[in-house]
Structure formats: C-alpha cells, structure tokens
Amino acid sequence: MASPLPSAAPARVVVLVSGSGTNLQALLDAIGDDPEGFGARIVAVGADRDGIAGLERAERAGLPTFVCRVKDHASREEWDAALAGATEAHRPDLVVSAGFMKIVGKEFLARFGGRFVNTHPALLPSFPGAHGVRDALAYGVKVTGCTVHFVDDGVDTGPIIAQGVVEVTEEDTPEGEAALHERIKEVERKLLVEAVGRLARDGYRIEGRKVHLGHVGE
C-alpha cells in the first residue's frame, strides 16, 4: 500500500493525546515556524478527556482541539465513530497517537488505517500492551527501547516504522521502573519527531509488515 504523501503542501497531522502531551510538544517544537521545512503541520489536537495538559499545550499553540469521551456515548462503537468523524473533519494526511490511551475500533481504522502512527515503550514485537517497561524489566532484558509503528486491529502489532534502543542498567529495578521509563521517553520523543518528518517529507509504502520510507510510486 502506497501513501498519498508527499505533496507540495506540508502534510496535515491530527495528534491525539490523553495526558501531559510531551510527545505533542516535541512535534510542535520540531515544526516551529517552518512546517514546509519539516514537511508537516499539526492542524488539530484531539483527546479522550477534558482538563489535560496536552490540550493546554495545543491551545497555547493556537490549535483547534476536540474531546471525545467514551462515557458520552452509548457504546464503544459509537465513541469510535464519533472520534473518527471528529478527526476526519480536519482532513488529516496522518494521525499521530501521542500518548493516547484508548484503543480505536473498526470505524477509525477503516478511515485511517495505514495513516495512524503510535509509539510504544518497548522493542516490539516484544512486550506489547500497557506495561511494556515493567514487562521488559521483569524478563531481565539487557536492552529495551521504543517503537514507532502504524496501528492495526491488534494490540501493538502494526507495521514498524522505527525503533530506538535504551540500555538497561543494574540500577534499573522494578522499584525504579519510572527512571527507565523516563530514559525511554527521551528517545521516544526524538524518534517520533524523526519518523513523522520522514513519513511526511519522503512518503512511504507498506508492504506486508514492512514500511519503506521514500520511493513512493516505484
């Protein structure tokens, strides 16, 4: 599957957040006042809850925001359709999950499959799910890291775009999980910025499980 990117204009990106929005901020800082140079611009920020720092970051940047709360809908399917509609209203070329802590459903993936980017704090396919850092520590790995990947209908099973490695030291114990997670987040932010920029500037193809950056149409 070939992407529609790149085009003459910067790619339109909608970012979804659930918390502090540090990945969103990393993208905002990288794009700065030069979306043409970066290859993309953020056109809106969505969330699954009100009153979070991620939305405040978006508002300070002058970006439109929207909130789709699961509890405001009769079913998870209705929520998923509402999220898809709210996202599509901004006509994104790419959608980026920047700490968005909800699993999207069939309607969202039908509209944005192959264009929905996520990050995970482990080296997939190892340690998927909500406790990637904890599970890696418990397993006794010597290196861990983070993965930027496209979202599919599994849990952290989509095609991998990029990965970054973080060493696990003797000081990294289960009790000190947070310190390791912070080191992973530092790498994750840089990796996400690089991956989104390359997807937007160079285009990409997805062939089975492989993501090829650039050379679209070859």
pLDDT digits (tens, 9 = 90+) for 44-66: 999 999 999 999 999 999 999 99
Is the pLDDT assigned to residue 3 strictly greater than 90?
no
d(CA 205, CA 212): 5
Asked if the model's pLDDT at residue 8 lies above 90, the reply is no
**pLDDT tens digits for range 103-137:** 999 999 999 999 999 999 999 999 999 999 999 99
Q: Is the pLDDT of residue 81 over 70?
A: yes
Residue 215 has pLDDT above 90, yes or no: no
Longest CA–CA separation in the chain, Å: 50
The question of whether 73 is a catalytic residue gets the answer no
Averaged pLDDT score across all residues of the chain: 94
Q: Which of 120, 149, 181, 212 is catalytic?
A: 120
Burial of 139 per CB tally in 10 Å (0-12, 13-18, 19+): exposed
Sign of the C-alpha dihedral, residues 30, 7, 203, 13?
Answer: positive
pLDDT tens digit sequence for 152-194: 999 999 999 999 999 999 999 988 899 999 999 999 999 999 9
Q: Look up residue 15 and give its two tokens.
A: 């970012």
User: Taking 70 as the threshold, does the pLDDT of residue 32 lie above it?
Assistant: yes
Note if the pTM is more than 0.85. yes
Q: What is the pLDDT confidence band of residue 1, given thresholds at 50, 70 and 90? A: low
Q: Rounded CA gap, 62 and 174, in Å? A: 40
Confidence of residue 151 (pLDDT cuts 50, 70, 90): very high
Output 122-125 pairs: Cβ under 8 A, ≥24 positions apart.
Answer: 122/146, 122/147, 123/147, 123/163, 123/165, 124/149, 124/156, 124/157, 124/160, 124/163, 125/156, 125/157
Q: Domains in the chain, ordered, with CATH? A: 11-213 (3.40.50.170)
